[in-house]
Structure 1
């Protein structure tokens, strides 16, 4: 239940979460309001990969630390932390890259950042060079951040020596149930508050007449097909990078992985304009097609899968790959017979991250969508842009529902595997 609740903010656009906070606190402006909203909508980027790493880990190291006299949190550092450090740093990197590329949330709070400056420069046709320069600054910031994340990650080899799954689950007791409020806070700010505001506006007089239910159905279907189609392309793009980073530690592989994170630091409008230019000059038949939009989703959010795949591959004992090699397995057979079965959970998490995030992508969708095709994000933006909040409520609710369904499927898959083990 908590994993489903924690995943919901992934489907809520930052500008919608910002609107919910503004409705609750009209005086919210500037840095702290922007910081609170971005923390709320990006927390799942750490929660999902860390929970997957915990399920794949073991308590053997914690138990050993306790037998040596280490109490409580002191047993956590040499045991659990080393098993989740890679997932934690990868999630933190995703949060940072998302934050520096965000536009909608900070724009509503009138907090000036590079993305708002790029949007203004692109809007002013006479100053496109300034927008390109600001975009390069974002790329430079992303490169520096990826470098330090890799240094902090260090040489992380597989620490798991047992084939058993996590052997001890500690339930929450009555004395620490207050932790539930801490777990619920990001989801409340990032998802439930804006939905509550939207629903309250939906019941205003005359709001029901503004809702076009057939358009809601078509927008939902378009969002699901486009976002998870893009997630599939993004997963295929991230697979070789994640596998290389998980099995090899060389300067070339590190450079490839670093450049693989760059698209996430670029605003959607930059990637959208680049693909528009590419389609018009090279492949005109692709212009304003659903495939080009799905490609944009895959390119934009492919980095979200790299860290998760890398950590999943790195958790596989090297001895299994060595044994399969001695048995005459080809690289393709090792991928199908060894890597894919043992990294399935990580792949599901990566696919979920890309797909749910792509649903709320707005700038690239507005630029690349086929004529007449609407998504939940574009309809939500159009309704809130003209202050038609009652008509926007169904689209906000549908985003939350669509995000909760794959998260629930992910939880059921993990629970089923735990029962089998």
Structure 2
């Protein structure tokens, strides 16, 4: 850090200001462009394979396929659940953010932490808990309950951050003009929250569209579960690719729809002003109902998964009589496999993200923007589409990669590239270009600059991105089920195998271990990397 500080001073002396940096930007090295383009091609590859396979279906055949009653049912289930989940998450997330950030509800700091905690619980673990509690939840209502409990924090986090950044003077001015509390909220606060709210709702919609494990355990049929069923029955082919294209199209519609709703409205203030904390709104008689609502929400999102896992852990007799009874060696092997794939997936995602992030931050151009946007496109490509495309590609063209650990790691890197890219890009953006140039002027090569300049300053952000990818890979189910080498057992696949055979007690140790890894990783992410992991205070 001291070396980086000395380079910072050297940069100021040599005139490495923003204007000078902009004037000296040249053409990006061919190797950097090639590495970034390779990452973009990998993201596009599953989509291109799906399109090529779908092209094997005639126009009339595609129409006949899409006009089947089954497809209509899948469309109604999928779109209906996306709309319902987006609406419920928007309401719950915004209400929770307002109560935590702007009211005098008791225990605000505790509720702020508990409101984020559901993100550490994989949706199919929540589904396992609710299904083992009651089989009556295997319908639309159960699916809506599970995804709402799992994804409402995606709305809460950005909306809470936006509320903290609002100028209290706007509300004070509105009240001085005669607006009450509700009028002030809907006419002044709510419009300022639109970018954060729309962004959160978009994430909810995309996650619901690509979710598989939770819906499969709930026996709720969507496009993802139908694609998996066709693969398992040997019916996956050009017709399945057509259904996959419908799923990709729905994801793109969500992205375009969010951009259209956001529009070109501007929400920034002219001046920075004086940062003040808004005075908490007194809830009055609503305080107790609000407190009870927090308790109910925490019970549904955290209490039920933890409680049901604890309950089934105590059912030793049922676990022992299960056809797939758990054992300590099996638990150890599954844990080792999950951690190993998590580390490998995180490393691979960083390798793909690094050149894209460096190109975007150091050589901004139309090319770098296009490459970066393609990389983020991976967020809207369902894991089952990526897995099925890779299966077809390796069976027909690259057979040595079929059902190999390398192929699974590549799939992880593609699926979670956006999370790694966010961390690496934000970290590199905070390192001045002048520091690197000062290091080179002092005789350091590219490796020395990376180790002695970039690593100390960008390390926390890069580590945060890697930690996020590790959490998602270690708990990933869909791609692991389809692409894992024969005999590979992870914690997620063990939970799946036991739960689908209704062996809830046998699944409990694996679910508990997966939950422990997820919660521990999330805690380390928040406390070890701090602001690099969470740019806004939680």
The TM-score normalised by the length of structure 2 is 0.60
Which runs of structure 2 are paired with 1:249-398 in the superposition (5 Å)?
A: 256=371, 259-279=374-394, 284-304=399-419, 341=457, 344=460, 350-398=465-513
Instruction: Label 1:220 to 1:103 Cα distance change in 2 as closer, same or farther (>3 A).
Output: same
* Partner deviation per Cα, 1:351-379 (whole Å, 9 max, x = no partner): 44433222332231123223433211011
Separation in 2, partners of 1:160, 1:405: 42
Aligned-pair Cα RMSD in Å: 4.9
2:310 aligned residue (182, 194, 199): 199
Question: Which protein has the larger Cα radius of gyration, Structure 1 or Structure 2?
Answer: 2
| Equivalent pair of 2:424/2:458 in contact (CA under 8 Å) | no
| Equivalent pair of 2:120/2:522 in contact (CA under 8 Å) | no
1:231 aligned residue (346, 359, 365): 346
Separation in 1, partners of 2:429, 2:367: 21
* Partner deviation per Cα, 1:239-295 (whole Å, 9 max, x = no partner): 666788899999877765554344344443332232334445565554444333222
Which runs of structure 2 are paired with 1:3-402 in the superposition (5 Å)?
A: 5-47=114-156, 59=165, 62-65=167-170, 68=173, 74=184, 88-126=197-235, 128-151=237-260, 152=262, 154=264, 168=277, 176=287, 179=290, 182=293, 188-204=299-315, 206-207=317-318, 209=320, 210-238=325-353, 256=371, 259-279=374-394, 284-304=399-419, 341=457, 344=460, 350-402=465-517
Instruction: Label 1:208 to 1:114 Cα distance change in 2 as closer, same or farther (>3 A).
Output: closer
Instruction: Label 1:416 to 1:13 Cα distance change in 2 as closer, same or farther (>3 A).
Output: closer
SS of the aligned residue for 2:135 comes to coil
* Partner deviation per Cα, 1:195-254 (whole Å, 9 max, x = no partner): 322332332352454331222123223212312432343355456667888999998777
SS of the aligned residue for 2:167 comes to helix
| Equivalent pair of 1:85/1:153 in contact (CA under 8 Å) | no
Please state if 1:412 is matched with 2:527: yes
Separation in 2, partners of 1:344, 1:394: 33
* Partner deviation per Cα, 1:11-47 (whole Å, 9 max, x = no partner): 5443332232234343224322211211111234345
SS of the aligned residue for 1:407 comes to helix
Instruction: Label 1:390 to 1:58 Cα distance change in 2 as closer, same or farther (>3 A).
Output: closer
* Partner deviation per Cα, 1:169-188 (whole Å, 9 max, x = no partner): 98999974765655565554
Shift in Å at residue 296 of structure 1? 1.3
SS of the aligned residue for 2:476 comes to coil
Shift in Å at residue 129 of structure 1? 1.8
The TM-score normalised by the length of structure 1 is 0.74
Separation in 2, partners of 1:213, 1:413: 30
Separation in 1, partners of 2:115, 2:164: 23
Shift in Å at residue 136 of structure 1? 0.5
Instruction: Label 1:29 to 1:283 Cα distance change in 2 as closer, same or farther (>3 A).
Output: closer
Q: Give ranges in structure 2 of 5+ residues lacking alignment.
A: 1-109
Separation in 1, partners of 2:353, 2:190: 27
* Partner deviation per Cα, 1:86-138 (whole Å, 9 max, x = no partner): 66544432221111111232234443322222223333434522210011111
Separation in 1, partners of 2:253, 2:422: 17
Separation in 2, partners of 1:141, 1:252: 27
Separation in 1, partners of 2:252, 2:456: 30
Separation in 1, partners of 2:279, 2:522: 22
* Partner deviation per Cα, 1:376-396 (whole Å, 9 max, x = no partner): 101111111222211211111
Instruction: Label 1:112 to 1:215 Cα distance change in 2 as closer, same or farther (>3 A).
Output: closer
Q: Give ranges in structure 1 of 5+ residues lacking alignment.
A: none
SS of the aligned residue for 1:370 comes to coil
